[in-house]
Amino acid sequence: MIQRSLHLGLLTCLLVGSGCAQESLPEEPLRTPTYHEDVAPILYQSCAPCHHPGESAPFSLLSYGDARRRLRQIARVTRTGFMPPWLPDSPPGTFVGDRRLGAEELETLQAWIRAGGPEGAPVPGQLAPEYEEGWQLGPPYLVAQMPSAFVVPAEGRDVYRNFVIPAPADRTRFIRAVEWSPDNRPVLHHALLFVDDSGEARANERRDPEPGYATMGFGGARLPDGLFVAWTPGRQPSPGTPDIAWRLDPGTDLVLQLHLRPRGRKEPIRVALGLYFADGPPTRRPMAIRLYSRDIDIPAGEGAWPLEADYTLPVPVELLEVYPHAHYLGKEMTALAELPGGERQTLLHIPRWDFN
């Protein structure tokens, strides 16, 4: 549901004391933050997962020199909230993997930049994170790879393309985790995994002379047993849990839907998936509920056009994931749960949707 909203903040100041003091003590001067002692831990934790060689970000932030060269840029993108990328405005702790910087971290960065970015003395034992090549979850049980690379055109509109991979399983397996391994991450906006046992995806691919086939629809493909198996820049692979592993039967096709972005030159991409098995079938079965609308007929000149979709759950549920998705015309997104007593709970609010 898209809606306008007004947010009011309340600032409260507390004064704690033990009576009226006759004279105040002089305040200690604030210490100027330095890179090694104050800034490096923030960058290593919140920026380096994307900003290191081989990842999606265009430059590294693993050293003092890396950060010193980008003082103005770091100041601007962190002050405006553009980086680290995180659209929901929900309270910290609502979502696993919240990337936002805290108020103290933001002030530390800004104070350090205002001071000119002093390096300071190295901190004993402090090392920049090392990112090993290869599978982060360890050797997979099976690897499923696109049969061949697809060449992203140099220019033009974004490319949505589906690639079919016959399941490499020799018997029924239960998948607890999937690790994505794109060999050209900067051209990949996001990716989704579907499974197809109807043969429709394979037939669509045969009709297209290039690798894969072009569509944004799903056709006969479906989410793997109700789970979102997706890749976005900076998302770290999860080892998963065996109680909600998804079933993969022989003869089933894996369908990778890639959103690709031209970058001024032709670039190939090939994606591999590492599959990690559970020992047996799951004890719980997730269900995906898609709330969307294709009845989008926006009058000319209209600056805000709300769309709503709803679903009534027949039983109590545990909410595992929320996957918001819109394109260039989206402005604001709100997901609400109306509880049996009539109370409304905000599950997700994105005040400024940004497709990029």
| pLDDT tens, position by position, 320-346 | 888 888 888 889 999 999 999 999 999
Q: What is the mean pLDDT of residues 239-249?
A: 93
- Asked whether the predicted pLDDT for residue 254 surpasses 90, the reply is yes
pLDDT band of 8, cuts 50, 70, 90: very low
AA letter at 30: L
How far is residue 230's CA from residue 225's CA, in Å, rounded to a whole number? 14
**Model confidence over 108-128: pLDDT tens digits?**
999 999 999 999 999 999 999
Report pLDDT digits (tens) over 148-195: 999 999 999 999 999 999 888 889 999 999 999 999 988 999 999 999
In this structure, what token pair is assigned to residue 303? 């600056």
Those residues whose C-beta lies under 8 Å from the C-beta of residue 122, and which sit 6 or more positions away, are 36
pLDDT band at 14 (very low <50, low <70, confident <90, very high): very low
- Does the structure show a pLDDT above 80 at 22? no
Specify the pLDDT at position 1: 38
- Token pair of 353 as six digits: 């949707």
pTM over 0.85: no
Average pLDDT over residues 77-94: 88
Give pLDDT, residue 2. 37
* DSSP alpha helix (H) spans, the chain: 40-46, 64-68, 71-79, 103-114, 200-206
Q: Which of 27, 74, 87 is nearest to 47 (CA)?
A: 74
Strand partners, 159: 260
Q: Which residue has the tokens 């996001």?
A: 190
**The predicted structure's pLDDT at residue 10:** 23
CA-angle at 254, arms to 253 and 259, nearest 5°: 135
CA–CA distance, 99 with 81 (Å, rounded to integer): 11
Contact indicator for 80, 338 with CB cutoff of 8 Å: no
Residue 108 burial (CB count, 10 A): 17
* The predicted structure's pLDDT at residue 219: 74
Q: Tell me the three-class secondary structure of 63-83, residue by residue.
A: CHHHHHCCHHHHHHHHHCCCC
pLDDT for 38: 95
pLDDT band at 11 (very low <50, low <70, confident <90, very high): very low
pLDDT band for 104, please (50, 70, 90 cuts): very high
Q: What single string gives the DSSP state of each residue in 88-133?
A: --PPTTSSTT--PPPHHHHHHHHHHHHTT----PPPTT-------S
The pLDDT of residue 289 is above 80: yes
Distance from C-alpha of 114 to C-alpha of 73, rounded to nearest angstrom: 13
End-to-end CA distance of the chain: 20
Mean pLDDT of the chain: 86
Q: Check if the beta carbon of residue 230 is closer than 8 Å to that of residue 178.
A: no
Residue 349 CB coordination number (10 Å) = 18
Give me the pLDDT at residue 55, please: 80
pLDDT greater than 50 at residue 217? yes
The domains located in the chain, with CATH, are 35-114 (no CATH), 142-277 (2.60.120), 289-356 (no CATH)
| Amino acid 26: pLDDT | 46
Confidence of residue 20 (pLDDT cuts 50, 70, 90): very low
Q: Which two tokens stand for residue 136?
A: 């982060």
